[in-house]
Amino acid sequence: MKTLVATLFCFFTMQSIAQTTVAHKPTFEYTDTVFYEGQVMVKYKILFGCHGWDVCYGSLPILDSLITFMKYHTKIIMEVGHHSDSRASKQFNIDLSYKRALSVVDYILSQGIDPSRITAKGYGESMPLNKCVDGVKCTEEEHQQNRRTEFKIISIAQ
């Protein structure tokens, strides 16, 4: 397994996500971190329109932070994976998840990241974080836990 010791900006910690989202600008603190292939770096609540796939303005600071990270660490190749809750059909959720992941990738590409360094994948409802699957009654908060965007390291180039 390839690893890379790199500087990680604090916006990749769950603690800083609330500050970043509220402040609408990233905070830069640096720590040395070891990254490895297959690692899911973050699980963010990227906001989209209801049943839509356009990234909402409030999520841009998170994505801008990722772009800064990718520009700084040019050896990392990433996957943007989006996950849905289980309230629509499996096919609808796969399609919606892919469109949302692709929307995130499109924004990242529009900011100058090489297309060979990032891909989109829609997981639909296939990887829930909790018990909320088809036929199980869940609260809105439980469904929200499953709606997320993950940034996964696919490979670290030589």
DSSP one-letter string for 40-80: EEEEE---B-TT--PBPGGGHHHHHHHHHHHHH-TTEEEEE
pLDDT tens digit sequence for 71-107: 988 988 999 999 988 998 999 999 999 999 999 999 9
pLDDT for res 113: 97
Eight-class DSSP state of 38: T
pLDDT bracket for residue 35 (50, 70, 90): low
Query: What is the distance of C-alpha 158 from the center of its chain?
Result: 24
Q: Predicted confidence band at 44 (pLDDT cuts at 50, 70, 90)? A: low
Residue 131 lies in a domain: yes
Residue 9 lies in a domain: no
What distance in Å separates the CA atoms of residue 150 and residue 158, rounded to the nearest whole number? 24
Q: Residue 119 pLDDT > 50, yes or no?
A: yes
Instruction: Flag whether pLDDT at 145 surpasses 90.
Output: no
Q: Where does 10-156 show beta strands of DSSP type E? A: 30-36, 40-44, 76-83, 118-124, 148-156
Where residue 140 sits, what CATH number does that domain have?
3.30.1330.60
Give the per-residue pLDDT at 11: 39
Question: How many structural domains compose the chain?
Answer: 1
Ranges 32-36, 81-85, 113-117, 147-151, most confident:
113-117
Output the pTM of the full model.
0.75
The answer as to whether 14 is a domain residue is no
Mean pLDDT computed over 8-22 = 37
Predicted confidence band at 121 (pLDDT cuts at 50, 70, 90)? very high
Domain membership of residue 139 as a residue range:
38-156
